[in-house]
Structure 1
Amino acid sequence: MKNMLMGATALAMVGGASYAGGIDRSGQGVNILFEEGNYAQITFSVVNPNVDAQPNETLAAVPIPGATIPAFDVAQSYSDFSLGYKHEVNDKLDIAIIYDNPFGAHVDYGLNGNLLQGGMAEVNTNALTGLLQYQLGNGFSVHGGIRLLEVDGVINNSLGLLDASSDIDFGGVVGVAYEKPEIALRVALTYSSSIAADLSGTRSDNDGSNPAARDLTVDFPESVNLDFQTGVAANTLVFGSIRWVGLSGTDVNTVDGEWVNFEDDVTTYNLGIAQRINDKLSLALRFGYEAPGTRPSNTALSPSTGSRSIGIAGTYQLNETISLSGGITYAKLGDQSFLLNNPLLPPGAGYDYQDSDAIGVGFRIGMRF
């Protein structure tokens, strides 16, 4: 049951809920460590958020000769890709390597010369994590390792255009787990440290003119994952997770000013159930909740706050070696607002983001050796 259901539970987590947590994307999971034997997986997901910006009452009242203030979708679709390989060295020691895209941002407020609009951000990250897991006995194990992070991004707002990238920076991972295989019970607690990414690039005018060199450091947040599962009946598994991300204090600052600032930590809860239908097919259903944060938003990178989501997934076992999994998530994103920092506008002018949602789909190929 364990092997059949793990793929379905993992893919039920994929999708739109990850959009709500600011820049948090992959969830930095380590569940591949608990696959039996030698195992490899490839995962691809696409998230399509819909976040419409509507002018608030103050902004709508601003007279603009010959123009209307438009509503527009600020959120951009994005995709994530991950690879994982787990190797069983012996009955005590396992090793794993994971490549993923743990953080990111894709928002576009339009760059059409309108003083009431303007700005975009695209932030991409690549991470490589190496892990060891050691069995202590009596169901207990410890795991830990190192995470390498590479970052590149472009931010275009009222401060100008910032284009920067990093070399490779380092962070740590450490955790503990307890398993009772006869009832498919597992509880795993994992801490990932923050990573200080040293970036270099240029700051220029919005059109790219007058470039000047800029160096900056961005602290990508620490996090804690609590993952759990247990069998509750024949071929039935209850699973869930709690993820805390220390986003507060994550900012992007240069001598030109503060480009990005997050004030809220983010906690996301998931609870689901998985069922093996037969020897080939298993299905999973998952519900998620993310608590709302500050309103109005303290950064244009978070045009929503909080979420409620539902995800479904299935795994089909082609043969003893290869499994195929697919999942879809729908997330209702919490309302948010954003105040424009523009001296030509009255205080309180800005946009409201309401009735936002996101859909995510994911696919995974797993292979045992």
Structure 2
Amino acid sequence: MKKTLLQACALCVGATSIQAGGLDRSGQGINIIFEEGSVVQLRLGYASPDVSGEQNGVESGDVSNAFFSPGLAYKRSFTDKLDFALIYDEPFGADIGYSADYPLSQNPTAAFGGRSGILRASADVDSLTALLRYKLDGGFSAIGGIRAQRASAKVVVPAAAGYEFDADADTDFGYLVGVAWEKPEIAARVSLVYNSKITHDLSSTESFNVVPPVPAGLQTIDDTTRVETPQSINLDFQTGVAPKTLVFGSIRWVDWPQTVVAPAAYVGIVGDNLVDFDDDTFTYTLGMGYQFSEAFSGAISTSYEKSNGTEVSNLGPTDGFWSIGVGGTYTVENAQISGGVRYTDIGDATTTTGGEFSGNSAWSVGLQLTYSLN
């Protein structure tokens, strides 16, 4: 394994870049395919967001729960021209819970025996990606692969007649394609990768309270709800700019308007989708790494996602962010051990029901171990 600063740079845009304010978690990176020889990689990120606001003078409490973001990858060189990688990550996710006093946590059917609860949502998405990279002449290479993705979700909206949505896990498939160019003499690399949307038909149960003149009670409906996780494009780049110094960065586009959750019963009760998005997002990252010695490298990076200024869902009350992260990598024999920390300033947001969220932030940390099998 080359003892370079590239892993330290990858750490700042990898293990500590989990976006604690939104649904985008891993960034769907594939940098392991560019490692030399055959390697295994283990990554664990942890994010602790602090997101709160108020509606009609009632505090929401801290609505975003802390979460872990694991990653595991294996890369093997079949020949001098053909590489293979297998990557496990959790690209998207949510874990939201409001205070019991919040207006949307109040069930208007409570007087008729309606159930109690809080406004909350959880979504778990994990994926396994198999990809190949074929090296062409002139430093170019072609990248392609398939992605198996599993998704499940649960949402509770007490204000909508005690509504609950519970979707079983479903596995479906997508793909990724891309190109890359490298010039090892100056540590230069540019890669462009497209990730397809993935469509899930979730077996779901919707339940809600009914009131007189209909006999009061709990109505349950079993159905199939179609949900798409969004297509995206990742542009990553790096280049040496001075001895032992590397500049790196990325641009990530995510087509969030593709993601709509519209269970039939909820739409019938409220007249609107349970989850949807008005805007796509562009996330920009820029950083610099420096190799202090043969054994230790460090890097610093900053990321930015513009606030769109449009109303957002109560199940994701954030709008843009900026962040700064630092990381370091220590190399010992065949192993590279990386660690880092990132601070994120989460953008102010107004929800579709008039909730105001401001002054929010998050801390995240990451550990990564890359081991050469050569």
**Normalised TM-score (structure 1):** 0.89
Q: Equivalents in 2 of 1:113, 1:331: separation in Å? A: 26
Q: What is the CA RMSD across the aligned residues, in angstroms?
A: 2.0
Q: Equivalents in 1 of 2:218, 2:6: separation in Å? A: 52
Structure 2 partner of 1:19: 20
Q: Equivalents in 1 of 2:3, 2:220: separation in Å? A: 54
Structure 2 partner of 1:45: 45
**CA distance change for structure 1 residues 74 and 183 in 2, over 3 Å: closer, same or farther?**
same
Structure 1 partner of 2:372: 368
Q: CA deviation at 1:263?
A: 1.2
CA contact (8 A) 1:249 1:263 kept: no
Q: 2:320 aligns with which of 291, 295, 306?
A: 306
CA contact (8 A) 2:98 2:105 kept: no
Matches within 5 A, 1:1-369: 3-13=3-13, 14-15=15-16, 18-20=19-21, 22-55=22-55, 59-60=56-57, 69-111=58-100, 118-157=118-157, 158-159=159-160, 160-205=163-208, 209-256=218-265, 257=267, 258-297=273-312, 299-319=313-333, 321-340=334-353, 350-369=354-373
Q: CA deviation at 1:172?
A: 0.7
**CA distance change for structure 1 residues 3 and 252 in 2, over 3 Å: closer, same or farther?**
farther
Q: Which shifted more, 9-18 or 304-313? A: 9-18
Q: CA deviation at 1:119?
A: 1.0
**CA distance change for structure 1 residues 153 and 3 in 2, over 3 Å: closer, same or farther?**
farther
Q: Equivalents in 1 of 2:340, 2:10: separation in Å? A: 9
Q: Equivalents in 2 of 1:35, 1:82: separation in Å? A: 16
Q: CA deviation at 1:255?
A: 1.1
Q: CA deviation at 1:115?
A: 5.2
Q: Equivalents in 2 of 1:16, 1:29: separation in Å? A: 11
Q: Which shifted more, 106-115 or 161-170? A: 106-115
Q: Equivalents in 2 of 1:2, 1:185: separation in Å? A: 15
Deviation per CA, 1:193-212: give whole Å up to 9, x if none.
Answer: 00001110211137x95432
Q: Equivalents in 2 of 1:70, 1:253: separation in Å? A: 28
Query: Which amino acid in the other structure matches residue 244 of structure 1?
Result: W
Alignment coverage as a number of residue pairs: 346
Query: Which amino acid in the other structure matches residue 134 of structure 2?
Result: Y
Deviation per CA, 1:58-78: give whole Å up to 9, x if none.
Answer: x23xxxxxxxx3341111111
Deviation per CA, 1:242-269: give whole Å up to 9, x if none.
Answer: 0000001311012111211111101100
SS in 1 for 2:6: helix
CA contact (8 A) 2:152 2:170 kept: no
Q: Equivalents in 2 of 1:112, 1:294: separation in Å? A: 27
CA contact (8 A) 1:172 1:193 kept: yes
Query: Which amino acid in the other structure matches residue 205 of structure 2?
Result: T
CA contact (8 A) 1:17 1:288 kept: no
Q: CA deviation at 1:3?
A: 4.7
SS in 2 for 1:231: strand
Deviation per CA, 1:261-306: give whole Å up to 9, x if none.
Answer: 1111011000000011101110000011101124321x12321111
Q: CA deviation at 1:103?
A: 0.6
Q: Equivalents in 2 of 1:3, 1:39: separation in Å? A: 14
Q: Equivalents in 2 of 1:300, 1:95: separation in Å? A: 41
Deviation per CA, 1:328-366: give whole Å up to 9, x if none.
Answer: 1101111001243xxxxxxxxx32111111111110111
Gaps of at least 5 residues in structure 1 are 61-68, 341-349
**CA distance change for structure 1 residues 110 and 15 in 2, over 3 Å: closer, same or farther?**
farther
**CA distance change for structure 1 residues 129 and 16 in 2, over 3 Å: closer, same or farther?**
closer
Using the aligned pairs only, state the percent identity: 41
Q: Equivalents in 2 of 1:54, 1:225: separation in Å? A: 35
With a CA cutoff of 8 Å and minimum separation of 6, indicate the structure with the bigger relative contact order. Answer: 1
Q: CA deviation at 1:32?
A: 0.5
Q: Equivalents in 2 of 1:180, 1:36: separation in Å? A: 14
Gaps of at least 5 residues in structure 2 are 107-117, 210-216, 268-272
Q: Equivalents in 2 of 1:322, 1:2: separation in Å? A: 10
**CA distance change for structure 1 residues 291 and 234 in 2, over 3 Å: closer, same or farther?**
same
CA contact (8 A) 1:4 1:315 kept: no
**CA distance change for structure 1 residues 2 and 185 in 2, over 3 Å: closer, same or farther?**
farther
